[in-house]
Amino acid sequence: MVTSEYERRIAARFAGFDQDGNGYIDREDFMAAAKALLAEFSTAARSDRGQSLYVGAEAFWQGMAGIADRDGDQRITREEFVTGAVKRLRDNPERFAEIARPFLHAALAVADTTGDGAVGVENTARVLRVLGVDGDVAAQAAAQLDTDGDGRIGEEEIVSAFARYFTVPE
């Protein structure tokens, strides 16, 4: 049973991971997200960037399963997600950032169309939309990540924001 406002917010974020909407998160959800990102940016799955994204997705899945899959069935229910996030990540958002980093690093490489190690605000919004964030919210969130106003967002800003989104109650 979800009780606190923090737990309600975390539970709502479950849908972003449940790519196919079947009520649980599994490896296929992470692979579907990788496939959708590759399609969005016309990147071949067999390319170096494509392979890195799939490896990052697998690492992210393994990290999430290690935190939240309490019964070991290779599926994370909404309740497991809330319990895992609240009990294991709230006091250590850096741990969540490190679990997500390989996937986020690879996703940024796919979205980095200029090759300079940063992603434009619009491409950041595209990534967020592919991952299930509403279009207007994605655009607003991407703009807010550009704290210096240069139109480019680096890995540290994205990893930090991602961890805060899932672990900070505000």
Q: What is the pLDDT of residues 21-76, one digit of tens each?
A: 999 999 999 999 999 999 999 999 999 999 999 999 999 999 999 988 999 999 99
Quick one: what percent of the chain has pLDDT higher than 90?
45
Q: In which domain, by residue range, is 79 found?
A: 5-167
SS (H, E, C) the chain: CCCCHHHHHHHHHHHHHCCCCCCEECHHHHHHHHHHHHHHCCCCCCCHHHHHHHHHHHHHHHHHHHHHCCCCCCCEEHHHHHHHHHHHHCCCHHHHHHHHHHHHHHHHHHHCCCCCCCEEHHHHHHHHHHCCCCHHHHHHHHHHHCCCCCCEECHHHHHHHHHHHHHCCC
Average pLDDT for the chain: 87
Overall domain count for the chain: 1
CATH number, position 95: 1.10.238.10
Q: What is the pLDDT of residue 166?
A: 66
B/e letters for 101-133, b = 16+ CB within 10 Å, e = fewer, are bbbbbbbbbbbbeeeeebbbbebbbbbbbbbbb
**pTM over cut 0.85:** yes
